[in-house]
Structure 1
Amino acid sequence: MTALRPADLVLRGGAVHTVDPARPRAQAVAVRGGRIVAVGTDADVGEHMGPRTRVVELRGRTLLPGFQDAHVHAVTAGLDRLRCDLRGGADDAETYLARVGEYAAAHPERRWIVGGGWAMGAFPGGTPDRGLLDAVVPDRPVCLDNRDGHGVWVNSRALELAGIDRHTPDPVDGRIERDADGQPQGTLHEGATALIERHIPQPTAEEWLASARLGQAELHRLGITAWQETSGYETDLGAYRTLAERGELTARVVVAQRWQRDAGLEQLDAFAARRDRSRIGRLRADRLKILLDGVLENFTGAMLEPYLDANGSPTTNRGLLFLEPVLLREVVRRADGLGFHVHVHAIGDRAVREALDAFEAASASNPARDRRHTIAHIQVIHPADLARFAALGVVANGQPYWAVSERQMDVLTIPFLGPERTGWQYPFGSLLRAGARLAFGSDWAVSTPNPLEEIEVAVRRVSPDDRHAAAFLPHERITLRAAVEAFTLGAAYVNGLDEETGTITAGKLADLAVLDRDLFAPGTLPDDARVLLTLVEGAPVFEDPALEG
């Protein structure tokens, strides 16, 4: 009998949740040469131990496939940490203004005060006023993205430098909030933000690189080993390419290059060229991101029926489609023909339907192939479209942390949807019952990057910050196993990484995460757990000292 080559690493004595239906549970795992070589009992895996094998005693703690994020903005989230970051404290005007004032005082060298992270629910109507910022920074322009990235809050100096006044028309793809006399109020939505942003000094290449490093480190800390980067600008891809060329890209990153509304179909050839020269190490760039609509809170999410007004009566506003249906279908058809997997941002039920129609048309027009098209956010889905995800093989890409009752939902969304459409929001349970493939992502920095927080919301439909609140649409809750699968195998599938990752299976790459407890033990709430060890190909990319404690 030939002796087994010793493993480099053995993790034993744990609650191993493999996400592999052939063997859902195990006790131990052996790793050699970056791959899983054995999954089984401690005795099974013990045969692979040698004198130089590192042994991690799990002591009943959970071992999972490394989490994957199906929709994240890791580079810009890292950049936020280098700027005036309003996240991580109380969500109210007083706290935000104090932070802005402190940041401005600490950075007198900055010509612009730039940052973001404010919540729309902190302000009446979700639209903060320029006068609030004028009071703390009167002499320099200020531009702060809101948390979802679909609007900015600016001061009077920024409006002045950008030449925006009562005579400035709204762009076709956005809106300038105005006072009663027509003057810009201080909030700009969607495409109107470009009127300001074109005047802001751009980050340097080194700042982009530092941002990518920060984003990667934070995601590894949370057990995440791979993600789909959905900002997708050339700056983001360039930062990842540099990390990959230098051997610093420890994560598997799939970049969804972003469709530019101010360019034409010819940009697809440029995307293809970038894709072909970006296959470096763990980096790929074979996805195409299309931002199809806005968000419900500012009434730019594309709806089949009009929004309601404050009195519950229908308006004439159905939101915005940033690509008309004929163009959308042609873009998707051509991108599909070039081998791209298309990733569509769709919030409203009309945007979801138009995306499904475009995918259906592309599949009918182009030769059969392995397609991993996906629709992200899926806040409102008309019930007639639920079964189409499975029928068309389109991945439902959800961000579960939003599926709770909170100010932005209760004050800025539900009154303007009405009861029926409110009940169609974030229908994860209905999608699974209809046979859809579900993948989860965080949309960080829009919300938390922590998969365990996101998983808890998917399972309970209650915010981890208010666990005694009533569940939001409790019939759409999903099981813990389904939520974990969506953040592992489901995300791996939409990222095109499922053949090598996403389950703990012999032969696959050893991308793994160790938690500090058994996640599936009775009474455990996911957000109470934390990650102690993150492995990529068996090598630690994050390790908490408590692992061996």
Structure 2
Amino acid sequence: MHLRLAIAALTWCIPTALVPAADLVLRGGKIVTVDPQFRIVQAMAVHDGRIVALGTDEQIAPQIDQQTQIVDLDGRMVLPGLIDSHVHPTGASQYEADHEIPPMETIDDVLSYVRARAAVVPKGEWIVLQQVFITRLREQRFPTRAELDSVAPEHPVWFRTGPDGSANSLALAENGIDRAFAAKHPDQVAVDPASGEPSGVIRRSSSIFKTRSDKSRKSLSQDERDDRLVELLEDYNRWGITGIIDRNCSDSARAQYARLLEANRLTTRVRLSRSLSPGDDLTQIDQRLDEITADPLFKQPDPRLGVIGVKVFEDGGMLTGSAYFTRPWGTSTIYGIVDSRYRGMQFIDDDRLEQLVRRCASRGLAFTAHCQGDAAVEALVDAYARVDQEIPIGPTRSSITHSSFMSPKAIAGAAKLGVGVDLQPAWLYLDARTLVAQFGSERLTHFIPLRSLFAAGVVAGGGSDHMQKIGSLRSVNPYNPFLGMWVAVTRTARWHDEPIHREQALTREQMIRFYTINNAWLMRAEDEIGSLEVGKRADFVVVDRDLLRCSDDEIRDALVESTWLDGRPVYQSQP
């Protein structure tokens, strides 16, 4: 480490004969290093996949010989390779293998899709539509049981959005969910206030509601699954993404990444938060954690693939009506909430959460939990604080996943403990209109509180929670990093007139750190990637505009001209 810094000092001043001739030189550009000083230089030299010199064109010129590839930037901007702190690529890449899922912005769009599926799916087979969030429908509500019945009377139908969803009559009947069942499960089964009959809306559905697979759907071979994952990773490259964290990686997904690594088909650096079932017996949990820590990809990660820790789910969803809050949700026609005392759902109690954190920290695993509501976030920060008295949490790179609603107390606690956060700014754009309608503006003061996190010194990283479809804007959720940057700077919400607490917006410099060095920290890889410094890997992206000076609205329309990993192009735009 000290040698790399010493070489850096030399090459920032005067390139010397000690620096090898470059394989690649970029010159005549605006190269944003994202180093601690956020220095910007004209030129960069790369040898054997690593950066060997940075400076002016004149300073880098001695590193050029007859074999050097030269890229004349003509003033274009270069950024470190962009990183997404939260994706689910293996499932997302397979989602439309059977048929294309059209975009849906209204209840009519949903019903049209179900009607079309009912025409081709055999009667009695299930129709399941996943992750069309009610916050993104103009009507801002679940489709009703009756509406789903009207378009598919002979099929069980499940409109699933995360842990919650809406079912039609056949789906409820197959699961034995009737008026008596609803009375015994009031927190999970919503009812019509007048009749007491189930409305179709079910919370935390996995514990009481099961579906059957549609036997008519296409089944992919292993090679086909791998090809589709490669297609998705290449689209990540198209948008400048050179690193990702898979947040809930199963055994089969880990094996799939390993196959691509062995075949030299991984075009992004991948770090894995392994899946963990928090309700298992503690002996089973210990066995699972021992297996994860015994994984060679945890002990000594490959530069392109490694394991960093585990992920669990602490509460439900803000998009679906089950996030765990300190204050009640309030009755709601949007979410089908009739109990004025309802605060959402905490999936893991405080004692078990602390046990899980302690077991992971003692093994050096980065722990994280899905936390949407402020009460869930505070519960996790408190668990970290209790464990930190015995085992330092900061060195584990543990984090809070989503942390959409926070409090000043939680932000201060995360800063003190050295806990990172993984946030999804596109949710502000897509969902804040509905959240304002439900909660009012005041409760959104610390919704995706980016400026407060940066000011407190919390390492906050930008992610997408990409779950389905290939395509940076058509995906659920959109993984276009420039959309995320634009939202982080403007706090703009779709179908809403005013920015959402503009005081929480990031500066341009912070916006870039949010998708580069901060996410490298969450990947446990900031010594190798995330900034353009001497000795680091040459992961970078050439963009078509100056993101530090362009207008706010131009940020979201930025295009990538080329993406490089280890000094080699993994994407180049067509002229």
Question: When the two structures are superposed, what TM-score results if normalisation uses the length of structure 2?
Answer: 0.84
Kept in 1, the 8 Å contact 2:28–2:42? The answer is yes
2:562 is matched by which residue type in structure 1? L
Kept in 1, the 8 Å contact 2:133–2:320? The answer is no
Q: Tell me what 2:39 maps to.
A: 24
Alignment of 1:320-399 (within 5 A): 320-366=345-391, 370-399=395-424
1:145 to 135, 157, 160: 160
Residues 1:58 and 1:378: Cα distance change in structure 2 (over 3 Å): same
- Structure 1: 5+ residue stretches without partners: none
Question: What secondary structure is seen at the aligned counterpart in 2 of 1:354?
Answer: helix
Q: Within 2, Cα distance between the matches of 1:118 and 1:31?
A: 44
Q: Tell me what 1:450 maps to.
A: 480
Residues 1:296 and 1:238: Cα distance change in structure 2 (over 3 Å): same
- Offset at residue 7 of structure 1 (A): 2.3
Q: Tell me what 1:38 maps to.
A: 53
Question: What secondary structure is seen at the aligned counterpart in 2 of 1:47?
Answer: helix
Kept in 1, the 8 Å contact 2:106–2:139? The answer is no
1:508 to 526, 530, 536: 536
- Offset at residue 336 of structure 1 (A): 0.7
Question: What secondary structure is seen at the aligned counterpart in 2 of 1:230?
Answer: strand
Residues 1:198 and 1:113: Cα distance change in structure 2 (over 3 Å): closer
Using the TM superposition, name which of 328-337 and 5-14 deviates more.
Answer: 5-14
Q: Tell me what 1:209 maps to.
A: 226
1:250 to 254, 267, 279: 267
Q: Within 1, Cα distance between the matches of 2:141 and 2:310?
A: 30
- Offset at residue 151 of structure 1 (A): 2.7
Q: Within 1, Cα distance between the matches of 2:362 and 2:153?
A: 52
Alignment of 1:450-469 (within 5 A): 450-463=480-493, 469=497
Kept in 2, the 8 Å contact 1:295–1:347? The answer is yes
1:91 to 99, 105, 123: 105
Question: What secondary structure is seen at the aligned counterpart in 1 of 2:382?
Answer: helix
- Offset at residue 114 of structure 1 (A): 4.0
Identity %: 29
Kept in 1, the 8 Å contact 2:249–2:274? The answer is yes
1:221 aligns with 2:238: yes
1:300 to 305, 317, 322: 322
Q: Within 1, Cα distance between the matches of 2:328 and 2:241?
A: 39
Q: Within 2, Cα distance between the matches of 1:389 and 1:240?
A: 31
Using the TM superposition, name which of 482-491 and 527-536 deviates more.
Answer: 527-536
- Offset at residue 173 of structure 1 (A): 11
Q: Within 2, Cα distance between the matches of 1:166 and 1:219?
A: 47
Residues 1:423 and 1:226: Cα distance change in structure 2 (over 3 Å): same
1:54 to 69, 88, 91: 69
Q: Within 2, Cα distance between the matches of 1:477 and 1:182?
A: 45
- Offset at residue 359 of structure 1 (A): 1.0
Q: Within 2, Cα distance between the matches of 1:385 and 1:102?
A: 46
Question: What secondary structure is seen at the aligned counterpart in 1 of 2:489?
Answer: helix
Q: Within 2, Cα distance between the matches of 1:14 and 1:513?
A: 12
Residues 1:276 and 1:543: Cα distance change in structure 2 (over 3 Å): farther
Q: Tell me what 1:119 maps to.
A: 133
Q: Tell me what 2:9 maps to.
A: none
Residues 1:246 and 1:177: Cα distance change in structure 2 (over 3 Å): farther
Kept in 2, the 8 Å contact 1:175–1:192? The answer is no
Residues 1:348 and 1:98: Cα distance change in structure 2 (over 3 Å): same
Question: What secondary structure is seen at the aligned counterpart in 2 of 1:244?
Answer: helix
1:196 aligns with 2:230: no
| Count of matched residue positions in the alignment of Structure 1 and Structure 2 | 538
Kept in 1, the 8 Å contact 2:107–2:139? The answer is no
- Offset at residue 520 of structure 1 (A): 1.6
1:150 is matched by which residue type in structure 2? P
1:257 is matched by which residue type in structure 2? R
Q: Within 2, Cα distance between the matches of 1:226 and 1:508?
A: 14
Residue-by-residue CA offset, 1:473-498 (whole Å, 9 max, x unaligned):
01111101101101100010011110
Q: Within 2, Cα distance between the matches of 1:535 and 1:71?
A: 21
Q: Within 1, Cα distance between the matches of 2:82 and 2:544?
A: 15
1:72 to 65, 82, 87: 87
Using the TM superposition, name which of 209-218 and 383-392 deviates more.
Answer: 209-218
1:129 aligns with 2:153: no
- Offset at residue 267 of structure 1 (A): 2.3
- Structure 2: 5+ residue stretches without partners: 1-15, 468-475
Q: Within 1, Cα distance between the matches of 2:77 and 2:250?
A: 37
Q: Tell me what 2:8 maps to.
A: none
Residues 1:214 and 1:4: Cα distance change in structure 2 (over 3 Å): same
Alignment of 1:235-274 (within 5 A): 235-265=252-282, 266-274=284-292
Q: Within 2, Cα distance between the matches of 1:444 and 1:205?
A: 23
1:388 is matched by which residue type in structure 2? G
Question: What secondary structure is seen at the aligned counterpart in 2 of 1:10?
Answer: strand
Q: Within 2, Cα distance between the matches of 1:230 and 1:174?
A: 28
- Offset at residue 245 of structure 1 (A): 2.9
1:517 aligns with 2:535: no
Residue-by-residue CA offset, 1:13-50 (whole Å, 9 max, x unaligned):
22111101346101122222111122222222232223
Residues 1:104 and 1:532: Cα distance change in structure 2 (over 3 Å): farther
Residue-by-residue CA offset, 1:186-213 (whole Å, 9 max, x unaligned):
4433344762246567976626534533
1:429 is matched by which residue type in structure 2? R
Kept in 2, the 8 Å contact 1:173–1:190? The answer is no
Using the TM superposition, name which of 439-448 and 271-280 deviates more.
Answer: 271-280
Q: Within 1, Cα distance between the matches of 2:338 and 2:522?
A: 40
Q: Tell me what 1:15 maps to.
A: 30
1:426 is matched by which residue type in structure 2? I
Q: CA RMSD in A?
A: 3.2
Kept in 1, the 8 Å contact 2:29–2:75? The answer is yes
Kept in 1, the 8 Å contact 2:278–2:285? The answer is no
Question: When the two structures are superposed, what TM-score results if normalisation uses the length of structure 1?
Answer: 0.88
Q: Within 2, Cα distance between the matches of 1:310 and 1:93?
A: 18
Q: Tell me what 1:417 maps to.
A: 439
- Offset at residue 138 of structure 1 (A): 4.3
Question: What secondary structure is seen at the aligned counterpart in 2 of 1:231?
Answer: strand
Residue-by-residue CA offset, 1:369-398 (whole Å, 9 max, x unaligned):
722111122222222332222111011222
2:310 to 288, 292, 299: 288
Residues 1:344 and 1:242: Cα distance change in structure 2 (over 3 Å): same
1:438 is matched by which residue type in structure 2? A
